[in-house]
Amino acid sequence: MENNRNKAPIDNLSLLIKLINIIVFLSVCVFIYLPMQPYINAYLKRPTYSKEELDSFTKKRMVFQEDDWDRVEHGIHVRTGMIYDANFKYIEAKCLSCHSAKLITQNRADRNGWQQMIKWMRETQGLQDLGEAEPFILDYLTEHYAPKELGRRPNLDIENIEWYVLELD
């Protein structure tokens, strides 16, 4: 008998602990759900598209990309960032098939320097002979990516500056 009396408070205590655990678990769930509620609702209310609509979106996107592929703005080939002229097609076919346009635009050399780089690429990187395209490539690189004389900025033209007195009231 004595054993049963001692067991009753332990059963009540374990029941109370289980109840507290359930309340804590539900509270945590609520605090997780509340900040996530807008995202959950947006996900549940997202539009559904038919296969035809998805195909239509894909075609429109592909047309836009095709239209944009060889766009030139202000003399710059938009996709590559390189200067565009008649010889650019050789650069695009022979150079950009192996490396990024940035590798070209960040380097500057005269005709001999570009020839040395091409020779180095043949010897160490496995570049194939450029054939009849090589003079056009060298013309392009020499014209647009030759060393530039860069110095300090020109002096300000003091006569043409409109001066004013700053008043701090």
Kindly state the average pLDDT of the residues 140-151.
Answer: 87
Measured distance CA(103)–CA(116) in Å, rounded: 15
The pLDDT value recorded for residue 53 is 87
Q: Tell me the pLDDT band of 22, cut-offs 50, 70 and 90.
A: very high
Question: What residue type is 123 in one-letter code?
Answer: E
The pLDDT value recorded for residue 45 is 84
The overall average pLDDT reported for the chain is: 86
Q: Tell me the pLDDT band of 37, cut-offs 50, 70 and 90.
A: confident
Report in angstroms the alpha-carbon separations of 22 from 11, 14, 152. Answer: 17, 12, 73
| The pLDDT of residue 2 is above 70 | no
Region label for 22, one of left (φ > 0), alpha (ψ between -120 and 50) or beta (otherwise): alpha
| The pLDDT of residue 69 is above 90 | no
Share of the chain above pLDDT 70, in %: 91
The pLDDT value recorded for residue 46 is 82
Question: What residue type is 52 in one-letter code?
Answer: E
